[in-house]
């Protein structure tokens, strides 16, 4: 008698797969714990795993969760340890580019994935280290998400977290509930937060805002539009503030310059006066006015912007001033969500060079020392060691306050003399170009954006700027001179070490011989 073995029937019920992509400090682990606790409270089986990452901002972690309803008579399921491309039902990105990474990994698919993301940006190291604008295009993520996801829900969850005094994880938990992607009632989500017992009220406030931000559960809506990549800039008003000296400068600027430039002039005037004093503001208006006679609005506008940038250069005095301002302490406390009764410790990393020390000396002495390499090397050995200092302590706060107070002597210092010499040569080149080619003159003025920062960063930027200026002078008289200077600036901003700029300069050299 033939015996036919019975083949056990395979269970075809698939678990719900969730991927959470979050950075350090955003509460990704808390969010995952909430989701697991939520599922288990509703009689489901849940499993979570995480793979921590490095080299992304403060470290980006991918969390994987699988949920399946427990059923009588069925064996305990074997769940996956990692999200598999094409098999993910819900993706939560705690930052816009984290959602973009999920799309790149294939975790988001149009036939099954609900993608929830915060629209805010926390810039990656790769974005920050580019000398120019290295920020990734948000519009590309919006476009990809609209095509890759079954549903795309995005809004600024970080702003809600800040407004409610909670973490972004609570907002994401609310958005998940509001999306209706999980078969659990809203009350179960809220009870999960209460059961955790930590920060309950702020978390519930953030949850409610996130729930409302996601829209109606199960709602199908058109993919959201990406925010404008280049929002309109807002300039201050060129108006009196009640200070006689400053108000006199405002009146003078309004009388000399056309209304289209008043916003830029207000920004520049505020910057240089805050940097030094009223006399410095008058000097700024004099320099900008020297370009008004050429009759080019674009030229005068570029002068108004970049002369202010050149005059308000970063030196040790400026750095000390900014680090000891009460507004900075208030901003830091706000960013880290410090409560009024909490103490905040501020540790700064100081890494001065001999040039910074010599720069605050009287101009004659600084010039004498800088001409002696052995003296500079000796100073460098003493100061260039790098140290961490506590600026929340009286000792270091007073030390920086004394350095900031040297502002009144800045005009007599060696660094200022160098900056003035460099600035005047740049402006003379721009005026000479304006007489024959105003478009080239505009590009020469805009090249000043290459010089920025402090210490080594400033030195690298100025080196690139000097190379561009030398090429601009040689290109003068060619019909494409302005275009080439623009290309050189783009090349200079492409990388830190100047490889792209050197290549562009070699091309120019090939046809200028």
Contact (CB, 8 A) for 487 and 504: yes
Contact (CB, 8 A) for 359 and 414: yes
The pLDDT of residue 233 is: 65
pLDDT in tens, 256-306: 999 999 999 999 999 999 999 999 999 999 999 999 989 899 999 999 999
Which residues are within 8 A (CB) of 448 and not within 5 positions of it... i.e. 6 or more apart?
A: 306, 309, 310, 426, 465
Provide, for the chain, the percentages of residues in helix, strand and coil under a 3-state DSSP scheme, each rounded to the nearest 5.
55, 10, 35
- Rg of the chain (C-alpha set): 30
Q: How much is the average pLDDT of 348-362?
A: 87
The pLDDT of residue 222 is: 47
Q: Whole-model pTM? A: 0.74
Q: Give residue for tokens 């100073």.
A: 379
Contact (CB, 8 A) for 302 and 310: no
Distance (Å) of CA 255 to CA 14, 252, 261, 285, 297: 74, 5, 12, 12, 15
Kindly give the pairing relationship between strand 60-69 and strand 44-52.
antiparallel
Please tell me the distance from the alpha carbon of residue 355 to that of residue 180, in angstroms, as a whole number: 61
Q: Which CATH number fits domain 16-213: 3.40.920.10, 3.30.420.40, 3.30.70.270, 3.40.1160.10?
A: 3.40.920.10
58 alpha-carbon distance from chain centroid: 14
* DSSP H helical ranges for 297-345: 297-311, 316-323, 326-335
Backbone angles phi, psi at 425, to 5 degrees: -65, -40
Kindly give the pairing relationship between strand 16-23 and strand 90-93.
parallel
Strand-pair partners of 18: 65, 90
pLDDT in tens, 438-491: 999 999 999 999 998 877 888 899 999 999 999 999 999 999 999 999 999 999
Highest mean pLDDT among 135-144, 226-235, 438-447: 438-447
Neighbours of 111 (CB within 10 A): 6
Which residues are within 8 A (CB) of 7 and not within 5 positions of it... i.e. 6 or more apart?
A: none
* Mean pLDDT, the chain, integer: 88
Q: How many residues does the chain have?
A: 513
pLDDT in tens, 32-83: 999 999 999 999 999 999 887 654 445 678 899 999 888 776 777 878 888 8
């Amino acid at each position: 008698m033939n015996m036919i073995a019975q083949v056990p029937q395979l269970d075809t019920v698939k678990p719900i797969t969730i991927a959470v992509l979050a950075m350090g400090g955003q509460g990704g682990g808390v969010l995952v714990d909430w989701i697991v606790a939520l599922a288990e409270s509703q009689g489901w089986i849940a499993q979570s795993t995480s793979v921590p990452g490095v080299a992304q901002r403060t470290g980006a972690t991918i969390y994987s969760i699988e949920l399946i309803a427990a059923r009588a008579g069925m064996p305990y399921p074997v769940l996956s340890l990692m999200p598999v491309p094409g098999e993910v039902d819900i993706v939560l990105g705690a930052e816009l580019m984290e959602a973009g990474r999920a799309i790149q990994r294939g975790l988001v698919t149009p036939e099954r994935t609900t993608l929830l993301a915060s629209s805010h940006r926390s810039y990656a190291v790769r974005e920050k280290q580019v000398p120019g604008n290295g920020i990734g295009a948000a519009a590309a993520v919006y476009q990809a998400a609209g095509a890759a996801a079954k549903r795309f829900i995005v809004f600024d969850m970080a702003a809600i977290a800040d407004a409610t005094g909670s973490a972004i994880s609570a907002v994401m938990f609310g958005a998940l509930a509001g999306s209706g992607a999980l078969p659990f009632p809203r009350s179960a989500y809220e009870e999960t937060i209460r059961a955790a017992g930590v920060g309950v009220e702020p978390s519930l406030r953030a949850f409610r805002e996130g729930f409302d931000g996601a829209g109606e559960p199960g709602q199908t809506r058109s993919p959201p539009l990406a925010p404008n990549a280049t929002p309109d800039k807002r300039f201050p008003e060129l108006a009196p503030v009640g200070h006689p000296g400053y108000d006199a400068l405002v009146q003078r600027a309004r009388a000399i310059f056309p209304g289209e430039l008043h916003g830029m002039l207000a920004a520049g005037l505020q910057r240089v006066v805050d940097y030094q004093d009223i006399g410095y503001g008058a000097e700024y208006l004099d320099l900008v006015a020297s370009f008004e006679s050429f009759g080019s609005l674009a030229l005068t506008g570029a002068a108004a912007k970049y002369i202010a940038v050149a005059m308000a250069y970063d030196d040790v005095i400026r750095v000390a001033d900014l680090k000891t301002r009460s507004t900075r302490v208030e901003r830091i406390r706000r960013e880290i969500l410090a409560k009024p009764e909490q103490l905040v410790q501020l540790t700064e990393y100081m890494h001065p060079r001999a040039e910074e020390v010599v720069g605050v000396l009287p101009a004659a002495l600084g010039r004498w020392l800088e001409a002696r390499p052995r003296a500079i090397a000796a100073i460098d050995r003493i100061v260039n060691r790098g140290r961490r200092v506590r600026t929340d302590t009286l000792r270091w706060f007073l030390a920086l306050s004394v350095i900031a107070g040297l502002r009144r002597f800045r005009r007599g210092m060696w660094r200022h003399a160098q900056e003035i010499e460099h600035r005047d040569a740049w402006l003379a080149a721009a005026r000479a170009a304006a007489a024959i080619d105003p478009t080239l003159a505009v590009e020469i003025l805009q090249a000043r954006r290459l010089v920025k920062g402090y210490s080594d960063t400033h030195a690298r930027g100025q080196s690139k700027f000097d190379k561009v200026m030398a090429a601009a002078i040689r290109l003068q008289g060619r019909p494409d001179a302005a275009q080439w200077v623009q290309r050189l600036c783009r090349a200079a901003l492409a990388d830190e070490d100047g490889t792209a700029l050197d290549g562009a300069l070699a091309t120019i050299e090939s046809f200028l011989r």
